[in-house]
Amino acid sequence: FRSAFGEVPQRLGVIGAGVIGLELGSVWRRLGSEVTVLEALPDFLAAADDQIAKEAAKAIKTQGIDIRLGARVTGTKVSKKGVTVTYETAEGSEKAEFDRVIVAVGRRPNTGGLGAEQTGLKLDERGFIEVNDQFLTSLPGVYAIGDVVAGPMLAHRASEDGVMVAELIAGEAGIHRDYRCVPWVI
């Protein structure tokens, strides 16, 4: 098996218990790593339905993955032996030793270097391009969809948004999107 790691680490730390962190932790556990997932939030899969989150937590724990909720990472130190991760819990400061660490704490839009300030393209405080309900930006005739606009960062959502914009440009009535109903899976 080839990866950026070069070999399967004996002890793997994953910072972030979202979709990506859990998927990667699960894969590395099946490859033989002892996996510990550190999640700052007190709830497991807070964005999911409570019953689904509860069942998912059972399934993940059955795999032998150690999930530590309410563990806010405050520092890391890399040495030849591995990585020491310091984190805060309700009980105080704790440390964990890993051979490797994966940081999976979310995604952000890649809008740097677009020249937003020079062109008048409005971005929000997180760097997302501001759009109206038809995906028009602050620039006349310029639309934005996908991971650069607020909403679920999912390929199928971006595809549907693209279809809507194409319909609008063609003079058709674009379909309203309700992102509360967008399916996602772990």
The pLDDT value recorded for residue 3 is 56
Of the candidates 53, 57, 75, which has an alpha carbon nearest to the alpha carbon of residue 66?
57
pLDDT digits (tens, 9 = 90+) for 119-149: 999 999 999 999 998 999 999 999 999 999 9
Q: What is residue 87's predicted lDDT score, i.e. its pLDDT?
A: 98
Asked if 161 contacts 145 with a C-beta cutoff of 8 angstroms, the reply is yes
Instruction: Judge residue 138's burial from the number of C-beta atoms within 10 Å of its C-beta, 0-12 exposed, 13-18 middle, 19 or more buried.
Output: middle
Residue 1: per-residue pLDDT: 39
DSSP label at residue 70: T
**What is the chain's mean pLDDT, rounded?**
91
Mean per-residue pLDDT, 4-29:
93
* pTM score: 0.78
Encode pLDDT of 23-78 as tens digits.
999 999 999 999 999 999 999 998 888 999 999 999 999 999 999 999 999 999 99
User: What φ, ψ does residue 41 adopt, rounded to 5°?
Assistant: -70, 150
Q: What is the pLDDT of residues 163-179, one digit of tens each?
A: 889 989 999 877 766 77
Which residue in 15, 24, 62, 65 sits closest to 186, CA to CA? 24
Tell me the average pLDDT across 9-29: 95
**Cβ 148 vs Cβ 142: under 8 Å:** no
Q: What's the CA gap between 67 and 49, in Å, rounded? A: 19
Residues 104-119 have a mean pLDDT of 90
pLDDT tens for 71-104 read 999 999 999 999 999 999 999 999 999 999 999 9
User: Is the predicted pLDDT of residue 2 greater than 60, yes or no?
Assistant: no
- Provide CB contacts within 8 A for 37, sequence distance 6+: 13, 14, 15, 16, 17, 21, 22, 25, 60, 65, 66, 67, 68
> What is the H or E stretch that residue 83 is in?
strand 82-89
